[in-house]
Amino acid sequence: MSHRLALRDLVDVVRPARPVASVYLGSSPLRAWRARWHRLADQLHSDGADPEVVDTVGEVLRRARSTYPTADTLVAFAGQELPPRVFHTPGLRHLDLAWFSSPAHVLPLLAWVQDRPPRVAVTAGRRSAELMSGDERVSLSYPAQDWRQGVRSAAAACAEMVLRGEIGLLVVAGEDEVVGALWEALPTPVRRDVVVRWTGRDLTPNRIAAEIRAAARSRAEGVLADFNDRGRAQGLAVEGNDDTLAALAAGRLDDLLIAHPEDVKATAWFGAAPTDVSRCWSPSRRCGLLADVAIRAALLSGTRVHVVHAATPSAPFEGIGGLCRVPLSLVRS
């Protein structure tokens, strides 16, 4: 069944050690759906996918196209250890792609998720408040003379949405005094952990989308600045294929930075355990695209993953790096 993508879905997708079919049915098709699917299915077969897996992927994509006939890109995964998953990803521009490999190829989806952080949007006024988070909507009305109490109720509802959905972005519209009262009424943990984007009194869908993009850009810039200022300057950064995989294997990495588009020639070896990764062959390990191997290790071990553009001047060497809890000299020891 098709559903909206969340980061926890990707954790499930990368968990299997055995090969997974990763299919991106891209945007702007030049040929009919059936011809495009046959070409993708042929690629899966040539990669060694079982006919049952290929048929399963084709069926879930067919159903998803019926549900989302104008979708930009549909992305499907399936394997012997993974029930079929298909995601509708509005705004993701991707060419048709089919791989039967391990781990699953989720980097484009990680970039898509990172550019669209979950948010709570709030319009706060002196008579009412509207809160939206995904498909959830809360409407509150209160007398104008009691607007401060009403705003406190809106803040409590907002905090519940933020904490329940592990949301880090709050987009707020309203006049200064009302927005200030809402902010003061939020619990301290929420004020500490969320980024707030104030839009004046404009909270149209286009404005919300613009604020989400701005917040995502700001976060990516902050990650790279931290990588340079704290990581490289203080010896807490690793970069390059070998050093980054070694830090992941040692469980020392707090944040993984991975470039997109990735290096499709670099490979690595991995085992079933989250941090069993290496550049070296082992009879107990499988070979995969290095970027996919690193992402799997990070997601399964609780390491934060940040996708950066490969052309960014301050991007890590070889398109991969990270921030460690201890200096690199200790990671290597």
As a three-state string, the secondary structure of 130-175 is: EEEECCEEEEEECCHHHHHHHHHHHHHHHHHHHHHHCCCEEEEECC
Q: In what order do the strands lie in the sheet with 253-260?
A: 237-239, 320-324, 253-260, 304-309
Task: Report the mean per-residue pLDDT for the chain.
Answer: 91
Res 270: pLDDT: 97
pLDDT digits (tens, 9 = 90+) for 185-222: 999 999 999 999 999 887 888 888 899 999 999 999 99
User: From CA 119, how far away is CA 102, in angstroms rounded?
Assistant: 32
pLDDT digits (tens, 9 = 90+) for 220-237: 999 999 999 988 888 899
**Strand 195-198 relative to strand 286-289, pairing:** unpaired
User: From CA 324, how far away is CA 306, in angstroms rounded?
Assistant: 14
Q: Do the beta carbons of residue 319 and residue 292 sit within 8 Å?
A: no
30 pLDDT exceeds 70? Answer: no
SS3 label, residue 267: strand
Res 141: pLDDT: 96
What does the pLDDT average to over 134-141?
92
Q: Which residue in 161, 182, 169 sits closest to 214, CA to CA?
A: 169
Q: Long-range pairs for 212-220 at CB < 8 Å and ≥24 separation?
A: 212/116, 212/117, 212/119, 212/169, 212/171, 213/115, 215/117, 215/119, 215/169, 216/114, 216/115, 216/116, 216/117, 219/114, 219/117, 219/195, 220/114, 220/306, 220/307, 220/308
**Which residue bears the tokens 């990516």?**
220
Q: Which residues have C-beta within 8 Å of that of residue 220, sequence separation ≥ 6?
A: 114, 306, 307, 308
Q: What is the dihedral of CA 31, 34, 40, 42, to 10 degrees?
A: -120
What percent of the chain is predicted at pLDDT more than 70?
A: 95
According to DSSP, the residues that pair with 130 across neighbouring strands are 123, 139
Higher pLDDT, 166 or 185: 185
pLDDT band with cut points at 50, 70 and 90 for residue 33: confident
User: From CA 38, how far away is CA 242, in angstroms rounded?
Assistant: 38
User: From CA 167, how far away is CA 332, in angstroms rounded?
Assistant: 35
Q: Which residue in 103, 104, 76, 102 sits closest to 89, CA to CA?
A: 76
Q: Do the beta carbons of residue 220 and residue 306 sit within 8 Å?
A: yes
Radius of gyration of the chain (CA): 22
What does the pLDDT average to over 109-128?
93
Element housing 96 (H / E): none
Res 88: pLDDT: 87
Q: Do the beta carbons of residue 117 and residue 134 sit within 8 Å?
A: no
Helices (H), 47-133: 51-67, 107-114
- Which of 61-75, 143-157, 317-331 is least confident? 317-331
pLDDT digits (tens, 9 = 90+) for 87-105: 988 888 888 999 999 999 9
pLDDT band with cut points at 50, 70 and 90 for residue 28: low
pLDDT band with cut points at 50, 70 and 90 for residue 63: very high
**Strand 237-239 relative to strand 277-278, pairing:** unpaired
